[in-house]
Structure 1
Amino acid sequence: MTSVNWTGVFPAVTTKLKADFSLDIPAIGAGLERLIQAGVGGVVMMGMVGENAQLSPAEKLTVLRTAVELVKGRVPVISGLAETNTASAVTFAREAEKIGVNGLMVFPGLTYKSDTAETVQFYKAVAKASALPILLYNNPRGYGVDLTADVIAELLEAPTIVAIKEESYETHRITGLLSRFGDRLNVVCGVDNLIVESAALGVKCWVSGMANAVPKASVDLLNLLIAGDFAKARKLYTALDPLYYLDTLVKLVQHIKLAENMTSGTSEAVKPPRQPLAGAERENTVAITRQTLADLRALGY
């Protein structure tokens, strides 16, 4: 099985859909191939603030099978795990392991704001369900559950919990986590327009939404940051930052799919209740994407 070293850009891959909202398997495969050719370090299928919750159980497993079959071990395939109860989460973890994914990005139990004891029990139950390495997902703004350093210390009693996608928007936490847990915990950037700050503090892995639209530039940006070439990185980041900001908005899926449509021709289709962007909101994203592409061309892309 392909191991996960938690280095590089791991796009939170958009789920490609047909006009009738069914899975577009060829488009999913083509999108993955495009990302791999751009040099990504791994792929994350079905991120939770994406369309994970809108997919049926069968569709989720189909997405994973498609990814594993297409990627063929060239990069790690990570699956989002987003369920409303512990039993369903345990079942999904076991099924994902059977399919052959290389790791799980695990969200707290959905629709319920668990307290610390409940949160720890939930994650440990998922960790026991398979041998897959687990990337914790910390997004207290989105889910109301905050994986603080003290909570993480309890979670790390489970040996397969090895990383955290830090999306609290509090970059000072990175230093605290790295200094407290060292090599025991891989800290991963989870906010597109905080990648420069995160990398400056030592982060080497980034789960990115807008990398779907601009994968090569995103890979180059992180490589420059890891190499310590902040002068070149800032020039590239200046071009990318307006586009990355769209990944922080409520309609990030629509923004990413529209930008991805403009860069690779994939469908903008999103599952209801989401609707494609329209009016001034759409025009703004189109303008930002066009300007970003023009700025990237000026830099040689």
Structure 2
Amino acid sequence: MSHPWSGVFPAVTTKMSRSGDLDLPAMRESLERLIANGVSGAIVLPMLGENASLTLAEREAVIRTAAEVVDGRIPLLSGLAETTLGTAMANAQLYRSWGAQGLMVFPSLGYKSDPRETAQWYREIAAAAALPIMIYNNPIAYGVDVTPAVLEALADVPEIVCVKEETGDIRRVTDIYVALGDRFSVFCGVDDLIVESLSLGVTGWVSGMTNVWPKQCVALFELCRREEFARARDLYRMLTPSFHLDTHVKLVQYIKLAEHLVYGAPEWTRSPRLPLVGEERAFVIDTIEDAKARLAASDWA
């Protein structure tokens, strides 16, 4: 299955009011801002988008709103995070009907499947979805690793076109290419490994902090794609302390607060997540304000 996926695909945060309701106008504004700054695609309802905290009706509202805003200008993917195969298959079809052009599929959230079970999970969702699929491989968070061997077992499934690589082990990028050549697109899924990953040949980046600095993240990606690594390193060093926020268990609160500080987006999350307070809040603010100052004093503002 051919697909146009390459470049920077922000994992879009789901904007909410202080009471925890969806803030669709803010969602529209953030998507327009991302597109205006050159992102190549967008992924709504990722883990960063609080997928598991939303009702099915709310997910429909997010996907339909995003599809209306995007209007074919860039590929629109939706995260698909479910516990049972039946629900995953049914919702894959719903998400397609609501406007998703592809899916970033999580492993089962309720069970740590073995390699055979993992391959079957993705195979059956792919058959039901009839959409191009990006495998979301984050064994640190979910305890399931889609290894090169699992990918080999899925190489005959045309709908599976891409893997978001988030093991944190930079060697995995090369291991995938050695085992499978260019069968799958490989996207970096860790903000503070993007330059390293691009040097090894990834073709895309699923990024959290692109919500905050889309212009700079797109520039960083393009510098690396052109192998201008000396310039890329300068920008990367300005952004890496804030990129580390993307790897923390509270990345949702951290990135939403960063968005609020940089362009005024609402920082609110849904319970059980709570607003940041005290030293933790001060740490995030200091990290973002330092990056803002460094960027302002550079050519990357």
Coarse TM-score class (shorter-chain normalised): over 0.9
Counterpart residue number, 2:61: 62
Counterpart residue number, 2:31: 32
Give 3-state SS (helix, strand or coil) of 2:192's partner: helix
Contact 1:4 1:103 in 2 (8 A): no
Q: Which letter does structure 1 place at the counterpart of 2:182? A: D
CA offsets 1:259-283 (integer angstroms, 9 cap, x no match): 0001110111100000111100000
Q: Which letter does structure 1 place at the counterpart of 2:35? A: I
Give 3-state SS (helix, strand or coil) of 1:206's partner: strand
Distance, in Å, in 2 between the alignment partners of 1:92 and 1:143 is 20
Counterpart residue number, 1:115: 114
Counterpart residue number, 2:138: 139
Give 3-state SS (helix, strand or coil) of 2:162's partner: strand
CA RMSD, 1 decimal: 1.0
Query: 1:96 Cα shift?
Result: 1.2
Contact 1:48 1:107 in 2 (8 A): no
Contact 1:204 1:222 in 2 (8 A): no
TM-score (norm 2): 0.97
| Greater mean alpha carbon deviation, residues 114-123 or residues 185-194 | 114-123
Distance, in Å, in 2 between the alignment partners of 1:289 and 1:264 is 12
Counterpart residue number, 1:297: 296
Counterpart residue number, 2:242: 243
Distance, in Å, in 2 between the alignment partners of 1:222 and 1:142 is 25
Counterpart residue number, 1:5: 4
Which runs of at least 4 in structure 1 moved beyond 4 Å after TM superposition?
none
Contact 1:7 1:205 in 2 (8 A): yes
Give 3-state SS (helix, strand or coil) of 1:184's partner: coil
TM-score (norm 1): 0.97
Give 3-state SS (helix, strand or coil) of 1:183's partner: coil
Q: Which letter does structure 1 place at the counterpart of 2:238? A: A
Residue 20 of structure 1 pairs with residue 16 of structure 2: no
Give 3-state SS (helix, strand or coil) of 1:296's partner: helix
Give 3-state SS (helix, strand or coil) of 2:158's partner: coil
Q: Which letter does structure 1 place at the counterpart of 2:7? A: G
Counterpart residue number, 1:72: 71
Distance, in Å, in 1 between the alignment partners of 2:272 and 2:12 is 20
Counterpart residue number, 1:280: 279
CA offsets 1:217-242 (integer angstroms, 9 cap, x no match): 00000000000000100000010000
Distance, in Å, in 2 between the alignment partners of 1:230 and 1:114 is 39
Counterpart residue number, 1:192: 191
Give 3-state SS (helix, strand or coil) of 1:84's partner: coil
Give 3-state SS (helix, strand or coil) of 1:88's partner: helix
Contact 2:5 2:75 in 1 (8 A): no
Distance, in Å, in 2 between the alignment partners of 1:236 and 1:4 is 30
Distance, in Å, in 2 between the alignment partners of 1:156 and 1:277 is 43
Give 3-state SS (helix, strand or coil) of 2:206's partner: strand
Query: 1:131 Cα shift?
Result: 1.8
| Unmatched tracts of structure 2, length 5 or more | none
Contact 2:173 2:200 in 1 (8 A): yes
Counterpart residue number, 1:221: 220
Q: Which letter does structure 2 place at the counterpart of 1:97? A: R
Query: 1:162 Cα shift?
Result: 0.7
Residue 264 of structure 1 pairs with residue 267 of structure 2: no
Counterpart residue number, 1:155: 154
Distance, in Å, in 2 between the alignment partners of 1:273 and 1:176 is 38
Residues 35-50 of structure 1 aligned to structure 2 (within 5 Å) = 35-50=34-49
Contact 2:84 2:110 in 1 (8 A): no
Query: 1:69 Cα shift?
Result: 0.5
Give 3-state SS (helix, strand or coil) of 1:137's partner: strand
Query: 1:146 Cα shift?
Result: 0.6
Give 3-state SS (helix, strand or coil) of 1:168's partner: coil
Q: Which letter does structure 2 place at the counterpart of 1:96? A: Y
Distance, in Å, in 1 between the alignment partners of 2:296 and 2:283 is 20
Distance, in Å, in 1 between the alignment partners of 2:209 and 2:3 is 22
Query: 1:20 Cα shift?
Result: 1.6
Distance, in Å, in 2 between the alignment partners of 1:8 and 1:146 is 24
Distance, in Å, in 2 between the alignment partners of 1:219 and 1:100 is 25
Counterpart residue number, 1:93: 92
Query: 1:101 Cα shift?
Result: 1.4
| Percent of residue pairs identical | 50
Residues 170-189 of structure 1 aligned to structure 2 (within 5 Å) = 170-189=169-188
Contact 1:68 1:77 in 2 (8 A): yes
